[in-house]
């Protein structure tokens, strides 16, 4: 039983006189009166959560009545929560131990002492504690159970059979007094497993079966033990008896599902899972855990998708209104690429419980993945209204506006974020990088440079910010040395990232380092499986294999963008490979038919300065 600290207060106040009477040495009557008054003041401080005053007043009361075991132990409990050396902690432990033996039948003192002794591994003290309680209160079963458990624990480290036999004798005594029951059978079987005493285990199971023939929990325990002993026929027989006792008990179907799963019987496993999900008695959290395990293992098997969807449907019908279920359904739908259905499920979650900001964030991101920037904007606005103190939703809103070419509005939203109250430096860095992107679109060069620098200073691992900054400088033809540095850092961090490689190659082109630019643009093209004749993409860019292992969906496109082809054409032209250059320009023109400059280069087969 747990006892929160506040629950101790009535006892503390009422028991003051009794506790003070435990003192071995008789303090002066006036000191006792002062201590009692101070103790009451301490109790008031505790109630008002003035813990420093509480600690100080307890110490003052203890100085007046030094042999008051209760006050000394309470001080010790506080000291154990503070930094201290091993000697201080040992003294605190002794104070709590002394309090217990001064009043061993006090359950609060016993639990406090037992928990502390257990935490620091004082096995002999734990044994002594439960021995004391077992002798003082033989009518209670918990001290005997705990004593037996402590003896078995020590046996495991010492292999002293006397300890083991003593523990078994205590459990035999309990069985003789109260008869066999589920907790006792569990304790006995756990003990017999320590010595692989199969005969005693089977005997205990038989006595439990006779003692509780109509209890589902007893049959499940029997089945689980038989399963552990590799006796499947006996295990299934016990599970079936449990089902006969209570056909609506979902725990039975969970046990049988696990039984069939262990034997690779997928048909029987599915059947039992469905029965468990349909159970009205089984708590939702247990059914949800079963569904989670099932989906996690099988979601990649497309033949199981209809079955999984049916399971979600069944659980939703039996347990409607569970936002957590729709969250998981959304995750599943997103994982198998059904983004629209995932967004629909998250919308249901938000309708049921709009208080979780993660749902709003995930739904907004899903709309971005669906290229539905209008809904992304709408969701981010609603979330921002609910959580105005979080910069996340302002950032998402600005992204949605920027993608709709509402650049000035996007910048205004970003400017409204109070970065002083953002403790997440990664988010703050991203906000500044996004400002840099927007300002660069607006040709506000100096301001963009400031924002990019803030972003990288805040998060030196923000490679996207470095890439964008480098590309912006390359396009503008400014500070190309810095651009080369940041582009090279980004590519070193993610050498499989075609976007970063393209930026680096373009910076080198702007610096007229044409041969080096070709090496880098070839690495970018290799990401898409394009390599010069006689070489493989992996030879050109060995990091491709690493990319597949790190994130198989990193590059979703089957071919480079028009921009990468265009840059490749320009670079190849300047290293005197005009035929290859024209081929790249033609491919770029096909992807960007409205770009007049690319079309001009492809048609006239030469490079033109912009």
**Whether the Cβ atoms of residue 251 and residue 282 lie closer than 8 Å to each other:** yes
This prediction has a pTM of: 0.62
Phi-psi bin for 557: left (phi > 0), alpha (psi -120 to 50), beta?
beta
Q: Which CATH architecture does the domain made up of 1-120 adopt?
A: Alpha Horseshoe (1.25)
Which tokens is 155 given?
């046996």
368-417 per-position pLDDT tens digit: 999 999 999 999 999 999 998 888 899 999 999 999 999 999 999 999 88
Which tokens is 102 given?
């001064």
pLDDT reading at 328 higher than 80: yes
Of 242-246, 263-267, 544-548, where does mean pLDDT reach its minimum?
Answer: 544-548
pLDDT reading at 70 higher than 50: yes
pLDDT reading at 498 higher than 60: yes
88-100 per-position pLDDT tens digit: 888 888 988 988 9
Amino acid 1: pLDDT? 34
Q: How far apart are CA 57 and CA 485, in angstroms?
A: 63
Tell me, letter by letter, the H, E, C secondary structure of 84-112: CCHHHHHHHHHHHHHHHHHCCCCHHHHHH
Which tokens is 227 given?
């399963």
Element (H, E) at 320: none
Question: Domain 344-422 adopts which CATH fold?
Answer: 1.25.40
Amino acid 273: pLDDT? 85
The better pLDDT of the pair 571, 28 is held by 571
Q: How far apart are CA 474 and CA 472, in angstroms?
A: 5
Which letter does DSSP use for residue 561 in this model? Answer: -
Half-sphere exposure of 500 (CA within 13 A, CB side): 21
Amino acid 547: pLDDT? 67
Q: How far apart are CA 567 and CA 505, in angstroms?
A: 8
Cβ-based neighbours of 421, under 8 Å, separated by 6 or more: 389, 391
Cβ-based neighbours of 575, under 8 Å, separated by 6 or more: 514, 515, 518
* E strand spans, 279-397: none
Say which residue the tokens 């709009």 belong to: 354
Cβ-based neighbours of 455, under 8 Å, separated by 6 or more: 429, 430, 431, 432, 433, 436, 462, 465, 469
**Whether the Cβ atoms of residue 434 and residue 391 lie closer than 8 Å to each other:** no
pLDDT band per the 50, 70, 90 thresholds, residue 10: very low
Of the candidates 103, 131, 98, 130, the one whose C-alpha atom is nearest the C-alpha of residue 114 is: 130
**Whether the Cβ atoms of residue 105 and residue 139 lie closer than 8 Å to each other:** no
Amino acid 77: pLDDT? 77
* E strand spans, 445-532: none
187-197 per-position pLDDT tens digit: 999 999 999 99
Which tokens is 314 given?
């069944």
Per-domain residue ranges of the chain: 1-120, 344-422
Q: Is the dihedral of CA 360, 361, 367, 372 positive or negative?
A: positive
Q: How far apart are CA 425 and CA 431, in angstroms?
A: 10
CA dihedral of residues 439, 588, 496, 403 (deg, nearest 10): 30
Amino acid 21: pLDDT? 35
Say which residue the tokens 């290799």 belong to: 526
Q: For residue 411, how many other CB atoms are within 10 A of its CB?
A: 21
Which tokens is 124 given?
């002999």
Q: How far apart are CA 196 and CA 227, in angstroms?
A: 15
274-321 per-position pLDDT tens digit: 888 888 888 888 888 888 888 887 788 888 888 889 889 988 988 899
Cβ-based neighbours of 113, under 8 Å, separated by 6 or more: 96, 97, 99, 100, 129
Q: How far apart are CA 330 and CA 323, in angstroms?
A: 11
**Whether the Cβ atoms of residue 282 and residue 267 lie closer than 8 Å to each other:** no
Percent over 70 (pLDDT), the chain: 92
Cβ-based neighbours of 347, under 8 Å, separated by 6 or more: 363
Element (H, E) at 535: none
Amino acid 91: pLDDT? 86
Amino acid 4: pLDDT? 34
Q: How far apart are CA 129 and CA 501, in angstroms?
A: 69
Amino acid 318: pLDDT? 87
Query: What CA–CA distances, in Å, run from 605 to 518, 530, 585?
Result: 19, 22, 9
Element (H, E) at 141: none
Long-range contacts of 174-177 (CB under 8 A, 24+ apart): 174/141, 174/144, 174/145, 175/207
Same fold, 1-120 and 344-422: yes
Say which residue the tokens 């016993």 belong to: 110
């Amino acid at each position: 039983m747990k006892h929160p600290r506040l629950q101790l207060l009535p006892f503390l106040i009422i028991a003051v006189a009794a506790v003070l009477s435990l003192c071995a040495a008789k303090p002066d009557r006036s000191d006792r009166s002062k201590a009692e008054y101070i103790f009451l003041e301490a109790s008031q401080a505790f109630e008002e959560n003035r813990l420093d005053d509480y600690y100080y007043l307890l110490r003052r009361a203890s100085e007046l009545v030094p042999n008051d075991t209760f006050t000394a132990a309470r001080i010790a409990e506080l000291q154990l929560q503070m930094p201290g050396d091993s000697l201080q902690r040992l003294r605190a432990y002794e104070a709590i131990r002394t309090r217990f033996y001064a009043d061993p039948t006090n359950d609060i003192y016993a639990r406090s002492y037992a928990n502390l002794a257990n935490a620091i591994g004082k096995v002999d003290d734990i044994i002594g504690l439960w021995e004391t309680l077992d002798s003082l209160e033989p009518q209670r079963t918990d001290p005997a159970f705990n004593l037996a458990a402590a003896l078995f624990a020590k046996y495991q480290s010492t292999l002293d059979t006397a300890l083991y036999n003593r523990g078994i004798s205590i459990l035999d005594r309990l069985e003789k007094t109260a008869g066999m029951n589920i907790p006792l059978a569990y304790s006995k079987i756990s003990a017999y497993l320590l010595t692989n005493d199969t005969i005693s285990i089977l005997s205990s199971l038989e006595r439990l079966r006779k003692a509780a023939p109509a209890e589902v929990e007893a049959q499940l325990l029997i089945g689980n033990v038989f399963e552990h002993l590799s006796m499947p026929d006996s295990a299934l027989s016990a599970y079936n008896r449990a089902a006969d006792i209570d056909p609506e008990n979902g725990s039975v179907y969970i046990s049988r599902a696990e039984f069939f799963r262990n034997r690779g019987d997928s048909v029987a496993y599915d059947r039992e899972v469905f029965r468990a999900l349909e159970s009205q008695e089984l708590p939702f959290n247990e059914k949800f855990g079963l569904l989670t395990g099932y989906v996690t293992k099988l979601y990649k098997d497309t033949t199981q998708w209809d079955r999984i969807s049916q399971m979600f449907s069944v659980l939703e019908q039996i347990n409607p209104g569970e936002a957590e279920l729709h969250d998981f359904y959304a995750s599943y739908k997103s994982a198998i690429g059904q983004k629209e259905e995932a967004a629909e499920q998250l919308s249901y979650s938000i309708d049921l419980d709009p208080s979780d900001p993660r749902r709003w964030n995930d739904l907004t991101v899903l709309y971005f993945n669906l290229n539905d920037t209008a809904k992304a904007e709408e969701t981010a606005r609603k979330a921002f209204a609910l959580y105005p103190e979080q910069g996340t939703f302002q950032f998402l809103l600005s992204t949605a506006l920027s993608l709709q070419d509402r650049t000035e509005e996007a910048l205004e939203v970003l400017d409204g974020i109070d970065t002083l109250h953002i403790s997440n430096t990664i988010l703050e860095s991203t906000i500044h990088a996004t400002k840099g992107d927007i300002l660069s679109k607006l040709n506000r060069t100096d301001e963009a440079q400031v924002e990019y620098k803030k972003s990288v200073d805040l998060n030196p691992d923000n490679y996207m910010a470095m890439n964008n900054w480098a590309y912006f400088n390359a396009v503008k033809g400014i500070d190309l040395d810095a651009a080369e540095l940041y582009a090279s850092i980004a590519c070193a961090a993610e050498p499989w990232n075609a976007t970063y490689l393209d930026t680096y190659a373009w910076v080198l082109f702007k610096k007229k380092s044409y041969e080096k630019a070709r090496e880098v643009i070839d690495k970018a093209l290799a990401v898409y499986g394009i390599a010069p004749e006689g070489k493989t993409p992996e030879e050109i860019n060995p990091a491709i294999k690493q990319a597949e292992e790190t994130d198989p969906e990193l590059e979703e496109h089957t071919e480079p963008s028009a921009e990468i082809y265009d840059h490749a054409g320009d670079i190849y032209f300047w290293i005197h490979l005009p035929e290859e250059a024209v081929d790249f320009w033609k491919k770029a023109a096909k992807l960007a038919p409205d770009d007049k400059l690319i079309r001009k280069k492809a048609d006239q087969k030469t490079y033109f300065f912009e």
